[in-house]
Structure 1
Amino acid sequence: MKRITPVFWISLVIAVAFIIWGAAATENMNAVTGEIQGFITGQFGWFYLLAATIFVGFAIYLIFSPLGRIKLGDQDEEPEYNYLTWFSFLFTAGMGIGLVFWGAAEPLYHLFDPNPAETVEDDAQAAGMALRYSFFHWGVHPWAIYSIVALSLAYFKFRKKSPGVMSAAFEPLLGDRVNGGIGTTINVIVVFATIFGVATSLGFGTAQIGGGLAQVTPLENTTFLQLMIVLVVTVLYMISSQTGLNVGIKYLSKTNIILAGFLMLFLLFAGPTNYIMNAFTQTFGGYLQNFIGMSFRIDTFNPESTWVEDWTIFYWAWWIAWAPFVGTFIARVSRGRTIREFVVGVIAVPTIFGALWFSVFGGTAINLQLEQGIDIYSTIADSGEESALFAVLAQFNFGTIMSILAILLIASFFITSADSATFVLGMQTTNGSLNPPNSVKFVWGVVQSSAAAILLLAGGLAALQTAAIIAAFPFAIIMIFMIISLMKALKADTIPEKKAKR
């Protein structure tokens, strides 16, 4: 652990203090963090909407700008990973476990509790709106947020040969001050958001694995079962983390893509195939058609409604909180790609895949609910969101086998996300080392699992999630200055000549 920085020790102290607070005074932590989050989302919801849309606009600008020809590395450098491996990294790090958790549940929530700003006259309109907002929340905006952070890190690391830490992206603005207190503060915020954002997802993943086991075995989804799941998965991802990026994470990411693709194809053809593809086609068109309106919609003229705060603003804050983790990881695996290729790949491919995923799982859930009279929504109300996927799969032949496959997929995502997070935390606390020491990754792995386990036991996962979202507010401001710094560096760079057409 010779290469660790002050960021490591400061972040470790803060993380341990927060975990102790959550375990010893759960209600107090829930109350305090909830009040802070309520103030931020209530008073600065407009800021999140504008910031997320600015990030989308900047990403689109880079796609069509001559700056898009600049490579993330030396201009003659080739990509480190092929497309399949690269896309599997993107999908796994970005939101794999979230798609599995919310794929069937979120559209059903929107079906029965639609955005009051939308005109919904019947079930058909409610169903279309439900899928459209699921596309919206998991589509272009989150991946544009990720792309800004990842692009900045990759550009300064591989093109400018700077350390692979978040503060290095501000050198054009701050100069040598990035090596002082300001840089340390930026990096500590990054580590804080990563620890608690990932730990919360591990908690949700644990709950869903427990829900799946309760579906296919005599076991009950108790806290004890969930703690045993955390223990087993922790051992597995700690083993994986010791093998490095090109072994554990690489092969797990490809496994995730294969399992997810198989599960999705099964339900696509076992379920209402024509209904799903019609829903995908129509909803994707509706998403594009209403993109600008949804991006700026807030409950200004309906102050009694909190729908936008509870969903859209919450999601934008959550994606920003995840951006340091996902952005750092995507940057690490994107060396050698042009800016244009990078932005298109990071935004377009996951957005289309996510839309298809929600069409298959959410569309099937809606079809079962409205067309076949099978009340999936009541199952969610009784057993929690983690039960939605298994309630849908149970309606089809081989449903038990598919549920077991889904449990394996969630566990694999769990292991990969935790493994990736230890890698990112290792990078950020060892001055950007591309291969952090195993001892540092081990420490962060223990911290992540301890946070998830202790707060599962104490019932403090909601506050943990809230804490990560609170960290998103300063990081959104950091991202705006990151864009300014990146543009300053790009304009001073040499833009390669456009290749002549043959």
Structure 2
Amino acid sequence: MDETTEQPRSTRQDSPPTTADQASDMSTETSPRSRIDFPVAGASVGILAAFVVVALIIPDTVSSWVGTAFSICANIFGMYWQILLLATFLIALVLIFTPWAKARLGNQERPDFGRFSWIAMIMTTLLAAGGVFWAAAEPMYHYATAPPYFTNDGHSGFDAVAAALATSFIDWGFLAWAILGSLGAIVMMRAAEKGMPLRPRSLLYPVLGKRAATGPLAAVVDVVCVISVAAGTIGPVGFLGMQVTYGLNSLFGIPDTYPVQLLVIAVLTAVAGVSVFSGVSRGVRFLSSANVWMALALMAAVLVLGSAWFVAKSYFSGFGLYMTDFFSMTLYRGDTEWLSGWTVFFFGWFLGYAPLMAIFIARISKGRTVRDLLISTTILPPIATTMWFTVLGGTGIYLERQSAGSISGPLMDGGLPAAVMAISDKLPLSTVIGIGFLILTMTFVATTTDSMSFAMSQSCMTSGVPSPKLRAIWAVLIGVTAAVLISLGDGGVDALQSAIVITAVPVAFVMLPSLFAAPIYVRQMAKEQKVA
């Protein structure tokens, strides 16, 4: 692959010479006049506002309703989601090895972003709060209580460490990344080439053609997808407000109170707002690159201060088990109640993000080859994610084996943030490591808030690109909604996080056409570009 194609460069022949940053964020000269789709924007905001108001009035009832609907959706559609994610990954994997994968996306010869910045933006947008708290906690949960897949008669004598890591890899590995960044992004970019808007409705272009751009169904698809990703973003922001205050209380004795949680959310929203006005090329790229470098530094510190040898052994045993039992673990249906709390929950969560992630990835991936896109979304990030989960979670298991209850005890008593704080506390330089994890979590979520505010704003545009003001409004709405919901305690945020799984039901059908359309479009592009 020609490495020179990674240098940022505007390919518009009618534009004056400009830097990559300027070219990426110009809207008045390089795109149609920006117009907001007020019905879609109004319906999206209105439904979210109605949910918040009702949750404030009858919180217990709303929590009960959402919990019941969540269980029904997980039981009925869980297997469909498992098959859909698996099929998406397998088709993406096959496409990588076809000669068609040499085709370039977006009618552009050179990418707007260098490879490191590009992959960093993709990775940090998905990981969000899960990049720290879930990475430390989930392997410990599965180590303390073995998943049912490994406790039946056919899996006696299993390695508990490998089983815990492999189960975490199923939830956060290849399938999660494939549904978020592969076939849907290809369909979105191809539809855009054919004159379709960069909106969720364009994912129906393979079955409806140009009719997908207009009509009631198109508006419903946009609204459902915006609400889904809003719920998936607001949830982690509110969750972060509660969890960071726990960490601040643990490290410095700062009171774990609602005003402190509000301050954390305000800071997070402010950081996202500054990034919004800096543009995708500056704001998101800077935050993402900083996240990756900080994560690498923390990984190195944890490995050096913990047990690098134990983590290395655990990674290979866990990843090996993940590979050998990949299909059976992915399609496991033996305990549907357990699945609804783990694998099916995460699959529904990632599905809820998928349409707007396709928009964001399409925005930053012009000029990339299909092979480049698929490898850099479906292969490399999941491998990096499994390593990250092993460093944090594996170190937690190592410390637990040294002193039983040292990590699992705080986790069971205090929830997700207690795990990472307990791990930090047991390592040398505990305060520095703990502060690093809290800062990293905030920048992860700030990046997600910034990039998803772009995708939500773009979904509400009839033409052109969203202005920084519109993106900032969405970022503020995310922060305000999260602040209101955490006033209800864990129940309000939990209800919203469960709601994303409910909205994943229609979203999963929106993503379905990508399975057959992406290979067709890749072949068409390859023939048009004469690269196969």
TM band (smaller chain)? over 0.9
Q: What corresponds to 1:267 in structure 2?
A: 302
Assess, with a 3 A threshold, how the Cα gap between structure 1 residues 432 and 448 changes in structure 2: closer, same or farther.
farther
Match of 1:217, as an amino acid?
F
Deviation at 1:288, TM superposition (A): 1.0
Assess, with a 3 A threshold, how the Cα gap between structure 1 residues 70 and 409 changes in structure 2: closer, same or farther.
same
Q: Distance in 1 between matches of 2:488 and 2:414?
A: 19
Assess, with a 3 A threshold, how the Cα gap between structure 1 residues 92 and 336 changes in structure 2: closer, same or farther.
same
The share of aligned pairs that are identical, in percent, is: 28
Question: Is 2:126 aligned against 1:126?
Answer: no
Q: What corresponds to 1:423 in structure 2?
A: 454
User: 1:21 pairs with 49, 54, 61, which one?
Assistant: 54
Larger displacement relative to structure 2 (359-368 or 423-432) = 423-432
Kept after mapping to 1: 8 A contact 2:172/2:385: yes
User: 1:214 pairs with 230, 233, 249, which one?
Assistant: 249
Q: What corresponds to 2:468 in structure 1?
A: 438
Kept after mapping to 1: 8 A contact 2:233/2:478: yes
Q: Distance in 1 between matches of 2:282 and 2:211?
A: 37
* CA deviation vs aligned residue, 1:97-134 (integer Å, no higher than 9, x gap): 21211111001110122222314656x72221001111
Q: What corresponds to 2:63 in structure 1?
A: 30
* CA deviation vs aligned residue, 1:334-392 (integer Å, no higher than 9, x gap): 11111111111101111111111111111111111113445211101222211211110
Question: Is 2:280 aligned against 1:233?
Answer: no
Question: Is 2:170 aligned against 1:136?
Answer: yes
Q: Distance in 2 between matches of 1:15 and 1:108?
A: 34
Match of 1:436, as an amino acid?
P
Unaligned runs of 5+ in 2: 1-32
Matches within 5 A, 1:310-321: 310-321=341-352
Match of 2:340, as an amino acid?
E
Q: Distance in 1 between matches of 2:210 and 2:455?
A: 24
RMSD: 2.0
Deviation at 1:191, TM superposition (A): 0.6
Q: Distance in 2 between matches of 1:50 and 1:486?
A: 17
Q: What corresponds to 1:99 in structure 2?
A: 131
What secondary structure does 1:431 align onto? strand
Question: Is 2:235 aligned against 1:200?
Answer: yes
Q: Distance in 2 between matches of 1:321 and 1:169?
A: 14
User: 2:122 pairs with 76, 81, 90, which one?
Assistant: 90
Match of 1:195, as an amino acid?
A
Q: Distance in 2 between matches of 1:494 and 1:353?
A: 30
Assess, with a 3 A threshold, how the Cα gap between structure 1 residues 57 and 220 changes in structure 2: closer, same or farther.
same
Q: What corresponds to 2:324 in structure 1?
A: 289
Q: Distance in 1 between matches of 2:307 and 2:520?
A: 51
Matches within 5 A, 1:10-409: 10-74=43-107, 77-119=109-151, 125-146=159-180, 147-157=182-192, 159-178=193-212, 179-299=214-334, 306-373=337-404, 375-409=406-440
Kept after mapping to 2: 8 A contact 1:393/1:400: yes
Deviation at 1:69, TM superposition (A): 2.2
Q: Distance in 1 between matches of 2:82 and 2:199?
A: 27
Match of 2:160, as an amino acid?
A
Unaligned runs of 5+ in 1: none
Assess, with a 3 A threshold, how the Cα gap between structure 1 residues 175 and 152 changes in structure 2: closer, same or farther.
closer
Assess, with a 3 A threshold, how the Cα gap between structure 1 residues 347 and 492 changes in structure 2: closer, same or farther.
closer
Matches within 5 A, 1:454-465: 454-459=484-489, 460-465=492-497
Assess, with a 3 A threshold, how the Cα gap between structure 1 residues 44 and 73 changes in structure 2: closer, same or farther.
closer
Q: Distance in 1 between matches of 2:433 and 2:116?
A: 24
Q: Distance in 2 between matches of 1:236 and 1:363?
A: 31
Kept after mapping to 1: 8 A contact 2:294/2:440: yes
Deviation at 1:136, TM superposition (A): 1.4
Q: Distance in 1 between matches of 2:281 and 2:85?
A: 32
Match of 1:399, as an amino acid?
S
Q: Distance in 2 between matches of 1:341 and 1:265?
A: 28
Q: Distance in 2 between matches of 1:107 and 1:463?
A: 24
Q: Distance in 2 between matches of 1:116 and 1:218?
A: 39
What secondary structure does 1:114 align onto? coil
Match of 1:52, as an amino acid?
L
Kept after mapping to 2: 8 A contact 1:249/1:420: yes
* CA deviation vs aligned residue, 1:142-196 (integer Å, no higher than 9, x gap): 0110122222223322x43432112123234213322111111111111111111
TM-score using structure 1 length: 0.93
Deviation at 1:256, TM superposition (A): 0.5
Match of 1:311, as an amino acid?
W
Kept after mapping to 2: 8 A contact 1:88/1:254: yes
Q: Distance in 2 between matches of 1:488 and 1:351?
A: 25
* CA deviation vs aligned residue, 1:275-330 (integer Å, no higher than 9, x gap): 1011111211111111111111111xx6xx62222211111111101212322222
Match of 1:310, as an amino acid?
G
Kept after mapping to 2: 8 A contact 1:238/1:445: yes
Kept after mapping to 2: 8 A contact 1:207/1:386: no
Q: Distance in 2 between matches of 1:315 and 1:365?
A: 22
Match of 1:126, as an amino acid?
A
What secondary structure does 1:464 align onto? helix
Kept after mapping to 2: 8 A contact 1:171/1:485: no
Assess, with a 3 A threshold, how the Cα gap between structure 1 residues 116 and 2 changes in structure 2: closer, same or farther.
closer
What secondary structure does 1:205 align onto? helix
What secondary structure does 1:230 align onto? helix
* CA deviation vs aligned residue, 1:248-271 (integer Å, no higher than 9, x gap): 111111111111110111001111
Q: Distance in 2 between matches of 1:432 and 1:155?
A: 17
